[in-house]
Chains A and B, each alone.
Chain A
Amino acid sequence: DSGVTQTPKHLITATGQRVTLRCSPRSGDLSVYWYQQSLDQGLQFLIHYYNGEERAKGNILERFSAQQFPDLHSELNLSSLELGDSALYFCASSPRTGANTEAFFGQGTRLTVV
């Protein structure tokens, strides 16, 4: 158990809908990263938050947004969903934003858009 909690574990929704994925980082971790993993693909970096502030943005679609709250949990909002958004979404946390920190991954949320 990495200590990172993601909910829900599975989500099935229709095209055009909006969903929110939630991530609770490890206790004390200030950094939260979001990644998208499509079937048999690598991990695509979406966004990084540190202590409530956005620090880096990857290939995140405009239909997607995220935020990190004062209690450090984070939410990834996906709207106007398309079939191609079906993927495994991982959240990872690390203690700080320095260079030499490993990332601890949650179990992921499997999103299926039908």
Chain B
Amino acid sequence: GQQVMQIPQYQHVQEGEDFTTYCNSSTTLSNIQWYKQRPGGHPVFLIQLVKSGEVKKQKRLTFQFGEAKKNSSLHITATQTTDVGTYFCAGRTAGNKLTFGGGTRVLVKP
């Protein structure tokens, strides 16, 4: 079945530094979504990418969808303590099943 993998599983970042988390699907995706789950909270939708090669920005967050629509990345610049949480990518296939990756847990060192 479809698998969505995320790396790294954990990301320790010094406040002010940049980092990137990657998402890879075993199958071609209709779209990819990114969610953020704060500690003790529930996943909250961040963004959706639909087109091959699409790039979207939200302030310090840059999301990219691969040309083959099988991978995606999230790049955060100038990390802040408010960025703490787990970032999930979720890939949707033609069967409309939304499969989540294992998440990247981000810890920020002040």
Contact = CB atoms under 8 A, between A and B. Distances in A.
* Residue of B6, B95, B99, B101 with most chain A CB atoms under a 10 A cut-off: B99
Contact of A104 (B30, B45, B105): B45
Contact of B42 (A2, A45, A56, A100): A2
A110 to B, nearest CB: 10
A35 B42 CA distance: 11
Contacts of A44: 100
B101 A58 contact: no
Contacts of B59: none
Interface residues of B, number: 26
Question: Number of contact residues on A: which range applies?
Answer: 20 to 34
A7 B106 CA distance: 29
Interface of A: 2, 33, 35, 40-45, 48, 55-56, 58, 90, 92, 97-100, 102-108
B85 interface: no
Contact of A56 (B31, B33, B88, B97): B97
A56 B43 contact: no
20 contacts: A35-B100, A40-B105, A41-B102, A42-B6, A43-B88, A43-B90, A45-B99, A48-B97, A56-B95, A58-B99, A90-B43, A99-B94, A99-B96, A100-B31, A100-B50, A102-B33, A102-B48, A103-B45, A103-B98, A107-B42
Contact of A102 (B45, B99, B101): B45
B45 A45 contact: no
A13 B45 CA distance: 31
B100 A58 contact: no
A56 B92 CA distance: 12
Contact of B98 (A45, A90, A104): A45
Interface in B6-41: 6, 30-31, 33, 35, 41
